[in-house]
Chains A and B, each alone.
Chain A
Amino acid sequence: MRAPFLFLLWLAPAVLAASLVAPVPAMARPDYIWGGKLDLTRGVTTVDGAAGGGLASWALIDGNETRDGIGGTASITELQTHNYGLTTYAVGLGAWDRYEVTLGGQDFDTGKTGGRLGLGDGYTFHQDILGLKARLFGDAVYDQDRWLPQVAVGAQIKSADHKDLLHALGARRADGVDYTLSATKILLDRSLLLDATVRLTKANQFGLLGFGGDRQSGYQPRFEGSVGYLVTPKLLVGAELRTKPDNLRFAHEGDASDLFAAFAVTHTLSATLAWAELGDVATFRRQSGLYLSLQAGF
């Protein structure tokens, strides 16, 4: 369990930097306010549980809180492809629109495909994800007179079940940590939202198939990003791409992409509908399907 300790060393200076950049120590603010964030500016919940799009983690911070409060979200995300089902449950906490802590659980249901893989029908991979994120600088919403984006760093500590099976499939470990550096910008002048994120990762299929492999085992930088158009203040439509490592010999792993529509039904409830392409997953080719995510935030 070396990796979870490594992230702490790495995140400490990031949190310190974020605290220094904050104009007033957030904890000292007397004028606490519940909620107050503009619709969609908390993002939606990614498959990893962090605030972002569906596939790409964004620099936006979870919850409806502003710099004067604390907020959070709870969400469920369902993705059904021809051969698989992926369900993510997540809860998140946002503090002062600066720090984010998320807890996610992913179930990867192989359904009948499990039997064909020799795992048994309905064999379900599972992993838990603890996400930490800190906004460093920039304001994606209000800095409309500068190019400077909102920038955040994050770590996602992942722990997958079925360690013995993952080793048998060629994975090095069942635990791993992804590190993210995200830049998110809303170009209101063009009604656009842009995100570019670099993820340092060893994960196989988001970590569900373990970390590192018999083909490659080290950290690799991978790009993920989103482009969205604000059709109305409550409706963002766009596309995403998430590139992934290809670590395991037994099955090629491709990049994931989606076309999405995220709708703020109310300040509290948002719904995301997407068509996701996950590429090849565990020897089954071209996995694509509908993605639905419901999120409640406060």
Chain B
Amino acid sequence: MRLPTASLIAALALALPLAAPAAEKPVDPYVQSDSNAGVTPIRGDAVFKAFHGKAGIDRIVHRLNQYHHSDPRLSDLFHAADDARLERTLSEMFCYVLGGPCHYTGRDMASVHKDMGAQIAQQNAQIEDLQKAMAEEQVPVWAQNRLLARLAPLERVTVTR
């Protein structure tokens, strides 16, 4: 009976790393839709490739979220954030906006930000941290700016104070 044991070990080996990042806190129900991202995706795959695909986006978002906590201008805003959920949904959103093969499953931008009470200086601080994270991933500046151009108008709903 070697086969089932081997299968079990293989299954466990696969399941364990998948289980770790899934520890998201429950959220109130909402309707999932790509339109919740509030942004029209970029056409073509040049920018998505410049971000090194979904793996690159995951690294950028993880780094950005580290900045959320280490940047004194932002740490209060993200103090109580569900990091696992934030990183998963933000990575989906960037991937979707950059024309990658992803769907955004998070809440709409207005709902996400309505209770954060962010000021424009904090939005600017987050952009700087995102620029640093993208530079660390060696995303060329023209491609960085393509993403920022899509995200910029969201300021009208992300900045509430």
Binding site for B on A (CB under 8 A): 31, 33, 35-39, 66-69, 141-145, 187-191, 230-233
Contact = CB atoms under 8 A, between A and B. Distances in A.
A191 B124 contact: no
B145 interface: yes
A189 B152 CA distance: 11
Interface string B128-161: 1001000000000110111011101101100001
Contacts of B127: 38
Main secondary structure, interface of A, reads loop
B10 to A, nearest CB: 46
B67 to A, nearest CB: 15
A228 to B, nearest CB: 13
Contacts of B156: 142
B121 interface: yes
Given A143-B153, A145-B153, A233 B120 contact: no
B152 A141 contact: yes
Contacts, number: 61
B125 A36 contact: yes
A35 B122 CA distance: 10
Contacts of B121: 33, 35-37, 66, 68-69
B153 A188 contact: no
A233 B124 CA distance: 12
Given A36-B125, A142-B155, A191 B120 contact: no
Contact of A232 (B119, B124, B141, B146): B141
B77 to A, nearest CB: 13
Interface residues of B, number: 22
29 contacts: A31-B119, A31-B161, A36-B119, A36-B122, A36-B124, A36-B125, A37-B121, A38-B124, A38-B127, A66-B120, A66-B121, A67-B120, A68-B119, A68-B120, A68-B121, A69-B121, A142-B152, A142-B156, A143-B152, A143-B153, A144-B148, A144-B150, A189-B146, A191-B142, A191-B145, A230-B141, A230-B145, A233-B128, A233-B141
Nearest to A65: B121
A142 B153 contact: yes
A164 to B, nearest CB: 51
A231 B141 contact: yes
Nearest to A233: B131
Contacts of B122: 36
Interface of B: 119-122, 124-125, 127-128, 131, 141-142, 144-146, 148-150, 152-153, 155-156, 161
Contacts of A230: 141, 145
A38 B128 contact: yes
Scoring B131, B145, B156, B161 by chain A CB atoms within 10 A of each residue's CB, the highest score goes to B145
Contacts of A233: 128, 131, 141, 144
B153 A144 contact: yes
A190 B122 CA distance: 25
Contacts of A37: 121, 124
B119 A188 contact: no
A36 B120 contact: yes
B119 A189 contact: no
Contacts of A187: 149
A297 to B, nearest CB: 14
A183 to B, nearest CB: 18
A188 B124 contact: no
Given A37-B121, A189-B145, A233-B131, 9 more contacts: A33-B121, A66-B124, A142-B153, A144-B148, A144-B150, A144-B152, A145-B152, A187-B149, A231-B141
